[in-house]
Amino acid sequence: MKENGLVETRKSRAFLLALLAVTSWISIGWADNWDQIKEAAEGIKTIEAHFVQEKHLKILSKPLISKGIFYYRAPNSLRWEYITPVRSILLMHNGKTRRFVKSRNGLVENSRTNPTGTQIILQEISMWLKGHFSDNPIFDATLEEGRKIVLTPKEKGLSKMISHIDLILSDKPGIIKSVTIYEDPDSYTRLIFTNTKINKKIREAIFQGIS
């Protein structure tokens, strides 16, 4: 009986060690270098996720919170939709970018171009989802421990709007967990992604209209 118990204990320990080894590989093994990150991104065809945006300013005691949903389809289709507190939609499809904002008449297209730091980041997200960090023409990229990528603007003009960006990759290969955009030492915007679904079929119409 003692021998049987000892065997079972050893089996349990072996199972736990194997589980820890697999978990460690999933957690850090896939994002040790740029090639691994690109390889993981190649398997991503579509992404659907919810997001929370936190706008932190020195003058505010609490951050401004916005929530929405995000759709992506390789290679360059994107829908970024704010649902609360004010609805707005950014569409990127077939090389065109369209923005819709809420008005008295519902959502109307806004053709004015006055990019903010956050809007520039949204333009960059499709590249990030392909694993293109080290070869980005706009940002210098550094890969740090903990699946963290730090992006620094190459141009002085952009650096006036964005000091740097911290991206935290999920423990699930190919997925971004959060993006923090630092405008200056006292203000930053953080995007946190949740309920992420990979390679789920997304209708073409999602990227074509506002319905």
For 67-110, how does the pLDDT look when each residue is reduced to its tens digit (9 = 90+)? Answer: 999 999 988 899 999 999 999 998 988 888 888 888 888 888 88
Cα–Cα distance between 87 and 132 in angstroms, integer? 30
Residue 95, Ramachandran bin (φ over 0: left; ψ between -120 and 50: alpha; else beta): left
Which pLDDT band, with edges at 50, 70 and 90, does 27 fall under? very low
Cα–Cα distance between 173 and 164 in angstroms, integer? 24
Residue 6 CB contacts under 8 Å (≥ 6 apart), including other chains? none
CB atoms within 10 A of CB 50: 15
Which pLDDT band, with edges at 50, 70 and 90, does 112 fall under? low
Which pLDDT band, with edges at 50, 70 and 90, does 18 fall under? very low
Q: Any alpha helices (H) in the chain, and if so which ranges?
A: 2-28, 34-42, 117-128, 156-159
- Contact (CB, 8 A) for 79 and 89: yes
The third-level CATH classification (topology) of the domain covering 32-207 is outer membrane lipoprotein receptor (LolB), chain A (2.50.20)
* pLDDT value at residue 115: 54
Q: Which helix (H) or strand (E) holds 144?
A: strand 139-144
* pLDDT value at residue 99: 87
Bridge pairing between strands 187-198 and 148-153: unpaired
Spans of all domains in the chain:
1-31, 32-207
In this prediction, residues 143-171 reach a mean pLDDT of 90
- Contact (CB, 8 A) for 31 and 174: no
For 113-154, how does the pLDDT look when each residue is reduced to its tens digit (9 = 90+)? Answer: 555 555 666 678 888 888 888 888 889 999 998 889 999 999
Cα–Cα distance between 44 and 71 in angstroms, integer? 12
Sheet containing 77-84: order of strands? 106-109, 96-103, 88-93, 77-84, 64-73, 46-57, 187-198, 176-184, 164-169, 148-153, 139-144
Q: What is the share, in percent, of the chain residues with pLDDT greater than 90? A: 40
The CB-based long-range contact list for 54-63 (8 Å cut-off, 24+ gap) reads 54/189, 54/190, 54/191, 54/192, 55/187, 55/189, 56/187, 56/188, 56/189, 56/190, 57/186, 57/187, 58/186, 58/187
Bridge pairing between strands 46-57 and 77-84: unpaired
Cα–Cα distance between 58 and 62 in angstroms, integer? 9
